[in-house]
């Protein structure tokens, strides 16, 4: 029997139930804004202006008119959606390829100014994009590449954060693996794609999610580069629905809700790799 006044420690089962209960509660709280936006897709725009996005639902006022408008009279919405989806895919694939190449060089090879180059990458991580925006914009105009998707993608291919993450991950790969590949006559590109890439799949998944979210929600730089309404990305296009002459809140709400779906699918599909990649990347080096 325990002595009087002695505290009894919680059993692992009770501790696990409390922990899971708190996590479920936090998840439900985080889902409230998403649920409110979903309810807003069934409401009239004037009702949204009067009450805001809320869970105080007037069930009799809910309607499918916003959905009918989205699929029949939404203007460039699905063009913006397709533009954003295409740019996101190209940006993610290009960023993973270029950044992993750069990080692989920093981690696996010895060359002059290697340390200086990596310090440059670290310094770039501290520079806000707003400081680089004006020089980039001037260069875009000089090259005559304004309103071009090429210039939306290129500035973000060598992402400092992604390079740093991959470099830390590569440091945990034994260099003997590379030497074994060279002894077997495998080319340097063959070593990377056939031996290294299978090992870093969790890191690729983690960076694909992070860069995918950044590319999908990118607003400021595409706003400067793109000028034709049919070329706009989804964040820019949705922003044009709010004007001094009238606000299309119905399309804004339902369009914003549908814009969340690709990111949710991406995260749910790769969440296991995301957690594994972020954890391993934090422990490397």
Which of 58, 73, 88 is the last residue before a domain boundary?
A: 73
**Residue 276: its pLDDT value, please?**
63
Strand, coil or helix: 246? strand
- Percent of the chain scored above 70 by pLDDT? 89
Residue 188 sits in the same domain as residue 205? yes
Distance CA 126, CA 114 (A): 19
Residue 279 sits in the same domain as residue 143? yes
Which of 55, 73, 91 is the last residue before a domain boundary?
A: 73
Number of domains in the chain: 2
Q: CA angle 245-57-250, nearest 5°?
A: 25
Structure tokens at 279: 């954890």
Question: pLDDT tens-digit profile of 102-146?
Answer: 999 999 988 888 899 999 999 988 888 888 888 888 988 888 888
Residue 82 sits in the same domain as residue 95? yes
pTM for the predicted model, two decimal places:
0.82
Assess whether pLDDT exceeds 60 at residue 31: yes
Residue 35 sits in the same domain as residue 175? no
Question: pLDDT tens-digit profile of 43-77?
Answer: 887 777 777 666 677 777 788 888 888 888 878 89
Residue 131 sits in the same domain as residue 24? no
Residue 147 sits in the same domain as residue 222? yes
Q: What does the DSSP 8-state code read for residue 9? A: P
Domain hosting residue 163, numbered range: 75-283
Distance CA 281, CA 202 (A): 9
**Residue 99: its pLDDT value, please?**
95
From the number of C-beta atoms within 10 Å of its C-beta (0-12, 13-18, 19+), residue 274 rates as buried
Torsion of CA 246, 227, 80, 65, to 10 degrees: 10
Structure tokens at 275: 């957690």
Residue 138 sits in the same domain as residue 222? yes
Per the domain annotation, does 2 fall within a domain? Answer: no
């Amino acid at each position: 029997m325990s002595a009087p006044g002695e505290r009894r420690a919680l059993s692992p089962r009770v501790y696990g139930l409390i922990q899971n209960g708190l996590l479920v509660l936090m998840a439900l709280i985080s889902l409230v804004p998403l649920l409110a936006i979903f309810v807003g897709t069934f409401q009239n725009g004037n009702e949204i202006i009067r009450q805001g996005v809320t869970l105080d639902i007037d069930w009799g006022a809910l309607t499918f008119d916003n959905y009918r408008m989205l699929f029949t009279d939404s203007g460039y919405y699905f063009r913006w959606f397709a533009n954003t989806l295409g740019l996101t895919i190209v940006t993610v694939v290009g960023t993973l390829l270029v950044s992993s190449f750069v990080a692989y060089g920093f981690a696996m090879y010895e060359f002059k100014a290697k340390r200086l180059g990596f310090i440059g990458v670290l310094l770039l991580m501290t520079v806000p994009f707003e400081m680089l925006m004006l020089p980039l914009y001037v260069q875009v105009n000089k090259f005559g590449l304004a309103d071009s998707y090429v210039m939306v993608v290129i500035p973000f291919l060598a992402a400092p954060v992604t390079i740093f993450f991959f470099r830390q991950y590569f440091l945990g790969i034994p260099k003997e693996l590379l030497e074994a590949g060279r002894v077997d006559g495998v080319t340097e590109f063959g070593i990377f794609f056939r031996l290294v890439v299978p090992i870093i799949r969790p890191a690729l998944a983690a960076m694909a999610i992070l860069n995918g979210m950044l590319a999908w929600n990118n607003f400021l730089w595409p706003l400067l580069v793109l000028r034709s309404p049919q070329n706009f990305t989804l964040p820019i296009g949705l922003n044009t629905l709010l004007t001094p002459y009238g606000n299309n809140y119905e399309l804004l709400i339902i369009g914003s809700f549908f814009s969340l779906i690709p990111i949710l699918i991406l995260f749910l599909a790769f969440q296991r790799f995301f957690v594994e990649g972020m954890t391993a990347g934090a422990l490397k080096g």
